[in-house]
Amino acid sequence: MMNLNDLLEDPDFLQLVPFSKEIYPADTVILNAADETQDVYFILSGEVRVTASLGAHSDNLEKLEPALAKLSAGDFFGELAMFDGEPRSAGVSAITDCEIAKVDGAAMITFMDKFPEKGYFVMRELFMNLVLRMRQNNSRTATVLELYLQEK
């Protein structure tokens, strides 16, 4: 069974999908919300923080960047933009020094189409990760709704 980090050593992947390994020092921005790229990022070492930007479009609110998730080695981010081509929905910055593989998202989709057996395992891992994040978001939403309803 293949996982996403195994891709970086797969001969077919290496031939078809451009990627680079990059070092990000702690407290460095890796990507910003609204960036228009389709790259996918695999965390090889270190930890990152995924943040939302609140109040950026309002004169009445101070700009806040609450953490949505903390990810570490073996995790990945950027997969949503790979599929839908929309601007980034969140920002990501390094908590600690990080080594990250930045993978060309469009080429990765081509790879999955060309090698459907390998693509299945990639899609399965992406899907399972999205399911986990949806469950976490459902729990957070329920908590916020409970707090809101208690205030009424």
Q: Tens digits of per-residue pLDDT, 21-70?
A: 999 999 999 998 888 999 999 999 999 999 886 655 555 555 556 678 89
Sign of the CA dihedral running 7, 11, 16, 21 = positive
Check if the beta carbon of residue 31 is closer than 8 Å to that of residue 79: no
Q: Tens digits of per-residue pLDDT, 116-137?
A: 999 898 888 888 878 887 787 7
Annotation: CATH topology of 4-151: Jelly Rolls (2.60.120)
**What amino acid is encoded at 91 in this protein?**
G
C-alpha–C-alpha distance, residues 35 and 91, integer Å: 9
Q: Is the predicted pLDDT of residue 148 greater than 90, yes or no?
A: no
C-alpha–C-alpha distance, residues 17 and 8, integer Å: 9
The strand pairing partners of 8, in sequence order, are none
pTM: 0.81
Domain ranges of the chain: 4-151
